[in-house]
Amino acid sequence: MHPQLQLLVALQDMDQMIRETEESREQLEDLGFRHEGLEALKNAREELSGKIDPSLASWYKRLTARWGHAVVPVVSNLCTGCFASIPSSFVSKTNVDKVQKCESCGRLLYWP
């Protein structure tokens, strides 16, 4: 996987964790989980974000604001964000060249 995509996936996982903790905090704490490290996690998120290429970070932010998720998995050669077909030529490029975007919706593509 492209190193920048690895960071973007980690960033999105972290954003989801922060969001879910804030939204479901009461439910999770009823189960016994504690979240005393939330502020530290937010700081770690900022640190991680700083390692991402500024143009990709900006694109990530824009997509997240628009769609909720900026990075989406490709399943059966389909972008799972908009269900557009992803050319098979993209697959061979994913690990080496650059972070790939869906040509239809612009989401960042991840091959799980």
Partner 1 sequence: MDIVEVLKHTSPALFLPDLQATDKAAALAEMVEGLVSGTSIHNPDTILQMLQSREHLGSTAVGPGIAFPHGRTLAVQRLTILIARSHAGVDFDSEDGQPTHLFFVLVAPPQDSGHQYIKSLAALIDRLQDAGLRAQLGEAADYDAFCAALKGA
Query: Is residue 13 near partner 1 by the rule CB under 8 A?
Result: yes
In the chain, the amino acid numbered 67 is W
* Phi, psi angle pair for 59, to nearest 5°: -65, -40
Choice from 2, 4, 35, 101 touching partner 1 (CB under 8 A): 35
Residues 68-87 that bind partner 1 (CB under 8 A): 69, 71-73, 75
Query: Is residue 91 near partner 1 by the rule CB under 8 A?
Result: no
Residues 37-56 that bind partner 1 (CB under 8 A): 37-38, 40-41, 44
Measure CA of the first residue to CA of the last residue in the chain; give whole Å: 10
Helices (H), the chain: 3-23, 25-30, 38-49, 54-67, 89-93
Q: 59, 56, 75, 76: which is closest to 67 by C-alpha?
A: 59
Interface residue list for partner 1 (CB under 8 A): 1, 6, 9-10, 12-14, 16-17, 20-21, 24, 27-28, 31-38, 40-41, 44, 69, 71-73, 75, 110, 112
